Homo-oligomer: A and B are copies of this chain.
Amino acid sequence: MVIRPYGYAIWESIQDYLNVRFKETGHSNMYFPQFIPYSFIEKEASHVEGFSPELALVTIGGGKELEEKLVVRPTSETIVNHMFTQWIQSYRELPLMINQWANVTRWEMRTKPFIRTLEFLWQEGHTAHATPEEAEKEALQMIDVYTKFAYEQAAIPVIVGRKSRAETFAGAACTYTIEAMMGDRKALQAGTSHNLGQNFSRAFGTQFTDENGQRKYIWQTSWAISTRFVGGIIMTHGDDAGLMLPPRLAPIQVVIVPIWKKADEKMGVINAATTVEKLLKTAGIKVKLDDSEQRTPGWKFNFWEMKGVPLRIEVGPRDVASGSVVVSRRDIPGKPGKEFGVSMDPSVLEDHVKSRLEDIQESLLQRATLFRDSNIVDVSSYEELKVAISQGKWARGPWSASDADESKVKEETGATIRCFPFDQPQGRKTCFMTGNPADEVAIFARSY
């Protein structure tokens, strides 16, 4: 997959936000090599089992057959642990909290742009701690950073929870996840945070000397969000007219379309449009003036709607005469989304645009939340689950059944446990599959 400038700019918005959060929470960026000796991958048993079908292998380098095959990283836990083992001597070096922005490769047969690609871009955090409590706290902190990002920046009302054993990351003790409902009601795993326990530190011998002089294995986490999230934004908010981007992540927040018919109108319109452009740019708004003469205003309206620009400002000769503009919202089609006669006066227009962008941000989240909630069905029997899933919905119900039952559900309905949500209903629960007591409800859905 090639990521073209507009899509890449969304990824850059995501990076800008997360980089600040990662640094605030004490992480430093760094970079590990992408070629991992095959023997590293083999060290953690469940890790190699999970990843070996998806590996790309370099076998020739500099014209020669290599003695040891190199894995093009599918994820970096193994090489990170190889280095941590050399760097960490004592409790004084802990916690060690790092992150890298990198490309990763997983050999996929059925690809889908942004969602499932052979190569993708991501950030992967890796941390080492002296105690299991610290590692657990870190894993939870980072899934919380992702959750806030999804809600506040991407306007995606993800459901945060814990993965089932079967769906846990290969090598992790526990995986936390944020699950998003796409427009077609399929679930998308949009970010994960793993408590790795001591699985990798035991496999790699990553030990530290504690305050009492004893050698102990470190406790670890890893966590990631990828360019898949760009696909999540597109498929959460998009409609038949194209993308609909949340203002806080949109590469272009406002597009200005000047409109004129007669030559003598042109200069006044372009001047006014340029003034508006400068005003908004100075106010820190990402604005584009589309003054190309090769296309009609109508064509431009459609084009920028398709691109998902949240707000459009139209400037015509009448607007110039009255010192006002027309402001149109991408999220409300047609007349209801239009405001006429919005004053061009800087003190008015800047506030107006900013507050409309906030309105749109909020409205996208609200709409997505309503959509999500009206498509989750509480079930108390396997039959009810089957009905819900066959209607394309998500099913939520008490679950304490076996891994075998879980894979039976998958075989028979195509749905998997997306997570045991953190947000649990009160009261006694009875597993809808077995009739046994259950501690938690799980959410089942078909997924990407």
Contacts and interface: CB of A to CB of B under 8 A. Distances in A.
Contact of A33 (B1, B31, B102): B1
A20 interface: no
A35 interface: yes
A36 to B, nearest CB: 11
Interface in A1-59: 1-5, 7-9, 12, 28-35, 52-59
Interface stretch (A60-68, A341-349, A417-425): A60-68
A267 interface: no
Interface in A302-326: none
A92 interface: yes
Contacts of A9: 28-29
A9 to B, nearest CB: 7
A107 B60 CA distance: 10
A62 B109 contact: yes
Interface in A271-290: none
A98 interface: yes
A382 B28 CA distance: 52
User: How many copies altogether?
Assistant: 2
A57 B58 contact: yes
Nearest to A27: B5
A309 to B, nearest CB: 16
A55 B62 contact: yes
Given A62-B55, A62-B109, A4 B33 contact: no
Q: Report the contact-size class of chain A (Cβ under 8 Å from the partner).
A: 35 or more
Given A8-B30, A53-B62, 4 more contacts: A8-B29, A33-B119, A35-B56, A56-B62
Across the A-B interface, give the 3 residue pairs with the lowest CB-CB distance, nearest first.
A62-B107, A5-B28, A57-B60
Interface of A: 1-5, 7-9, 12, 28-35, 52-63, 69-70, 72, 83, 92, 98, 102-103, 105, 107-109, 118-119, 121, 294
23 contacts: A2-B30, A3-B30, A5-B29, A5-B30, A5-B98, A7-B30, A8-B30, A34-B119, A35-B105, A54-B62, A56-B60, A56-B62, A57-B58, A57-B59, A57-B60, A58-B58, A58-B72, A59-B59, A59-B60, A60-B69, A62-B107, A62-B108, A62-B109
A4 to B, nearest CB: 5
A119 B52 contact: no
B103 A35 contact: no
Contact of A58 (B3, B7, B8, B56): B56
Contacts of A4: 30
A108 B59 CA distance: 15
A2 B98 CA distance: 13
A344 B202 CA distance: 51
Contacts of A53: 62-63
A266 B52 CA distance: 56
A252 to B, nearest CB: 12
Contact of A103 (B34, B55, B60): B34
